[in-house]
Amino acid sequence: MNESSSFTDGSDAPSGVVGRLLAWGCEGLALAGGLILLLLMGLSLASLLGRKLFAAPLQGDIELMEIGMAVAVAAFLPLCELHGKHIRVESFTLQLPARGQHLLDAFAHLLCLLAALLLAWRTSLQAWDNFRYGDVSILLSIPLWIPLLLIVPCLLLLALASAWQVGRHWAASRAAAA
């Protein structure tokens, strides 16, 4: 198992104009996800202090946590995929030659690409339905189509990062065969 102390050690950094744009987009979304998490931590702290000190918790804090966490997690996925840092079980594949490992990785990233496209499609349809029917959250009446619409670009960028990884591993498998 190859582990590094850094999330980005430079060995898998995308190159070229398209690769750098993709990395820039993934990093920007991850930073936005981190900002959302910081805001949610502040919200949680404020609600906890309000509950314990003044017997007045923030109304709808759990709703905001649920919505914010969904968007934040979706925002982190493209960067994780771009650098190939998803959890992997390599017990049996480590004995394969380099070409076989790259082909399996390309196949796994292809599955991730297809799943991301499917989720983006279905999430966009759900956002449209929520918009048409006026679905809102229970306590705060937040329109539910808004967070869903924020998740769709994250999933599309995840699909692009997956496509990048498919191409990278496919090229590496061809190079290993030569």
Ordered DSSP codes for 57-77: PPTTHHHHHHHHHHHHHHHHH
Distance between CA atoms of 139 and 118, rounded to whole angstroms?
Answer: 30
Domain boundaries, the chain: 16-85+97-177
pLDDT digits (tens, 9 = 90+) for 127-144: 999 999 999 999 999 999
What residue has token string 């030659």? 97
What value, to the nearest 5°, has the Cα angle with vertex 15 and ends 76 and 119? Answer: 35
Residues 6+ positions from 104 with CB-CB distance below 8 Å:
93, 96
- What does pTM read for this prediction? 0.89
| Tens of pLDDT, residues 44-87 | 999 999 999 999 989 999 999 999 999 999 999 999 999 988 88
Burial of residue 117, with CB atoms counted within 10 A of its CB: 0-12 exposed, 13-18 middle, 19 or more buried: middle
